Amino acid sequence: MSFSQDKESGSGTFKTFNSDRAIAEALSQGSDKVAEEFVRQNSPWMLQVARRILHEESAAEDCVQEAFLSAFSKIDSFENRSTLKTWLHRIVVNKCLMTLRSKRRKAEEQIDDLMPQFDEHTCRIEEPWPRLLSADEICEEKELSEFVRDSIFKLPEISRIVLQLRDIEGWSTAEVADALEISESNVKVRLHRGRSALKNLLEPMMRGHLS
Amino acid sequence: MKRLGALKIMRSLRGVMMRYVPLMITCRQFEDFIIDYFEGDLPARQKFEFELHIKVCRECREYLSAYKRAVEVTAKATDIEVPDRGLPEAPEDLVIAILAARKAVG
């Protein structure tokens, strides 16, 4: 990430930085111009991340604002072990998780109806799949992509969050366990249940019945 | 009716085979192994049993394909790549609010 300086015009905008460490130092020193560019460059993707998790525009904007304030106050702790963007990504996701925790939630809904079924001989009951649409075929259709996103939000909250953090945000099992304060084995169980339920919800579409 | 009876017998025989033949696992056990298989955490023997089950069980084989496809579709449909360019700018009032809050905190 770098910003360019218009030396000729003398407008005195901001310096050229060749590393995240240099940007962090400029922010730590309180540069208003660097802070503004930092916010303008990063707020679009941070808002997109927050929207994915919270599914609510005003809550997403609040989280992004809190994430930036947290980043500014902790900028001295940025150690360059990851990129500045990765560091910011963790902050905004954690803010979103705090928002979800603070909301009064309904009791975890059961998703047993969406789980795989087995007969009395412990054999799986699964209708044959003569056709299974590819991911490209599905995502090319705007309505089908929206169907996928809406289906994700039908999952119970904890399973949804685990699935989003692992399969969408790309966090490791250990990182998700740490953020949600649950064990790694619990993360795996919830992830598998979330994926199984989602497979069930997406089944009519993947079989080509909705295209 | 005869066909249904034959199918029922076959499922019963298959259930017995998966419970009692060495190296065979039941569909329920297969289900329990799925997440560790994808995480690469299954011990060698269980991985062998899992992959053998895929070969002999149509239902689990097709279930697994659909399960994997659901995971692929989830990632693709939700734009997991966070692009540096191409996203619309954040609302101006949000940017102003963030900068103002930064000033207020000092």
Chain segment B23-72, per-residue pLDDT in tens: 889 999 999 999 999 989 999 999 999 999 999 999 999 999 999 999 99
Contact B56, A181 (CB under 8 A): no
Measured distance CA(A106)–CA(A102) in Å, rounded? 12
Q: Which two tokens stand for residue B31?
A: 């289900």
**What rounded mean pLDDT belongs to chain A?**
84
Q: Is the pLDDT of residue A22 over 50?
A: yes
Q: Is A126 on the interface with B (CB under 8 A)?
A: yes
| Band of pLDDT at residue A109, cut at 50, 70 and 90 | low
Q: Does A150 touch chain B (CB under 8 A)?
A: no
Checking if the pLDDT of A143 tops 90, the result is no
On whether the pTM is more than 0.95, the answer is no
From A58, which residue of chain B is nearest by alpha-carbon distance?
A: B94
Q: pLDDT tens across A173-199, in order?
A: 999 998 888 999 999 999 999 999 999
Does residue A125 sit in helix, strand or coil?
Answer: strand
Average pLDDT over residues A153-175: 90
A89 contacts in chain B (CB < 8 Å): 82
Q: What is the ipTM of this complex?
A: 0.79
Q: pLDDT (tens digit, 9 = 90+) per residue, A24-33?
A: 999 999 999 9
Phi, psi of A117 (to 5 degrees): -110, 145
Burial class of residue A117 (count of CB atoms within 10 Å of its CB; 0-12, 13-18, 19+): exposed
Name the band, by pLDDT with cuts 50, 70 and 90, for residue A108.
low
- Helix A57-74 vs helix A32-54: angle between axes, to the nearest 10 degrees? 140
* In chain A, residues 16-55 whose CB comes closer than 8 Å to chain B: 32, 35-36, 39-40, 43-49, 52
